[in-house]
Amino acid sequence: MFETLKAQPADKILALMQMYKDDPRETKVDLGVGVYKDATGLTPVMRAVKAAEHKIWEAQDSKVYTGLAGDPAFADAMIDLVLDGAVPRATVAAAATPGGTGAVRQAFELIQMAKPDARVFVSDPTWPNHLSMLKYLNIEIVPYRYFDNETRGVDFDGMLADLKTAHAGDVILLHGCCHNPTGANLNATEWDAVIDVLQSTGATPMIDIAYQGFGDGLQEDAAATRKIVSSVPECLIAASCSKNFGIYRERTGLLMAVASDATAHDLNQQTLAYLNRQNFSFPPDHGARVVSTILNDATLKADWMAELEEVRNAMLDLRQQLADELQRLSGSDRFGFLAQHRGMFSRLGTTPEKVEQLRTEHGIYMVGDSRMNIAGLNTKSVPILAQAIIDVGI
Ligand code: PLP
Ligand code: TYF
């Protein structure tokens, strides 16, 4: 029977990872997949994660199943971290999922169950897995303008005009912070205008927040999400712990569904558990337990926050170094956007041909849409990248 299968398009980011591995050049620079790397190119296990794992190893006396929605302590801790009391806890249904991807996928399935003809508005561009999962589920995709290739910032007028065409029963997918793949984000006034559109159209927001703590700080990065949930009757939030806890392979995420009343909340909670049961029964527990152990222990939490701050500042530093070097080499401010962008990524805004030239001639690997992982840089590779950008004529 399997001969009927068709070849599926590969994940371009993961394919790039393999190309980088196969490149024998010692000077190669990996700005591909979105994982944090320190100055030596390593993705370390965070100190608080190691300590929490130790604590769990000592105390855990059973690995019996948790609940279908995962360990309630994980949900409570994450709801607190992301929403910080923006809405009453009793209105937030939540289920642990395999990573943020799992949360996004369960959210899409929930949308489809609730409203089979719902359209999902997505930023142009967005994380490719959003599009891939929506297509797989046969959910109608409506792109909204987002990246302005001239300014390398947000085409906010275009975005707003496109969002205004949504109506009740549609979903607007927003990146809570640190937009992937562009690095271009809304300011507080612009978020307020988006909230006005959510209120006037009645469309339901779905927020994907995968980089809390990687942009301007843990509180700052969640500010838009908190304001949105407290301004609309219903909201979906897919949160990932992969990046900010550095537990990528543990597959740790949480889907939250915020309801307007207790009846809707109970239905949401039941449905989230039901959807988990259909797809994988119990969600992975180890990463979730590491997260709740850290967030519920004042010492571990303080150390995690301090290390996250180091990670965030290292990326901001690299942004500034790259922008400064490009200003020096180009004699212009046209690369100033690199210092304005936030999170792991910046979109250079150049052609696939130039991206390929960077790879073949300079051994610099970035995604074909010219997305760079800033954390892939270090003080030695910043000038190499800057010179290469000028050499290929970007
Ligand atoms: N959403 C966005 C926008 C992402 O960039 C990612 C990737 O890290 C995720 C969700 C989910 O990641 P994970 O499934 O590894 O938690
Ligand atoms: O965008 C990225 O690089 C990260 C990691 O299928 C990632 O979000 C990349 C591809 C993928 C899943 C996660």
Residue 226 near residue 79 (C-beta atoms within 8 A): no
Residue 114 near residue 139 (C-beta atoms within 8 A): no
Decide if 227 is catalytic.
no
Single out the catalytic residue among 94, 243, 304, 375: 243
Percent helix, strand, coil in the chain, to 5, is 50, 15, 35
Instruction: State the CATH class of domain 10-45+301-391.
Output: alpha beta
Decide if 391 is catalytic.
no
Measured from CB, residues less than 6 Å from any atom of ligand 2 are: 11, 13-14, 33-34, 127, 129, 180
pLDDT tens digits for range 33-46: 999 999 999 999 99
Residue 187 near residue 152 (C-beta atoms within 8 A): no
374 has a pLDDT exceeding 90: yes
pLDDT tens digits for range 48-80: 999 999 999 999 999 999 999 999 999 999 999
Decide if 380 is catalytic.
no
Residue 78 near residue 100 (C-beta atoms within 8 A): no
Distance separating alpha carbons of residues 289 and 305, to the nearest angstrom: 17
Q: How far is CA 313 from CA 40, 153, 185, 213, 319, in A?
A: 16, 21, 18, 10, 10
Residue 224 or residue 26, greater confidence = 224
Which are the contacts of 102, defined by CB distance < 8 A and separation ≥ 6? 251, 253, 255, 283
pLDDT tens digits for range 240-275: 999 999 999 999 999 999 999 889 999 999 999 999
Split at pLDDT 50, 70, 90, the class of 362 is very high
Task: Name which of 382, 385, 386 is nearest 332 in CA terms.
Answer: 386
Residue 155 near residue 148 (C-beta atoms within 8 A): yes
User: 65-296: same fold as 10-45+301-391?
Assistant: no
The two tokens of residue 320 are 């500034």
Task: Name which of 371, 327, 379, 318 is nearest 349 in CA terms.
Answer: 371
- Helix count (H) and strand count (E) of the chain? 14, 11
- Domain locations in the chain as residue ranges: 10-45+301-391, 65-296
Q: How many CA atoms does the CB half-sphere of 50 hold within 13 Å?
A: 6
Interval between CA 34 and ligand 2 midpoint (Å) = 6
Give this prediction's pTM: 0.97
Write the ipTM.
Answer: 0.98
327 has a pLDDT exceeding 90: yes
Measured from CB, residues less than 6 Å from any atom of ligand 1 are: 34, 99-101, 104, 127, 175, 180, 208, 210, 240, 242-243, 248, 253
Decide if 90 is catalytic.
no
State which fold the 65-296 domain adopts: Aspartate Aminotransferase; domain 2 (3.40.640)
| Other C-beta atoms lying within 10 Å of the C-beta of residue 157 | 10
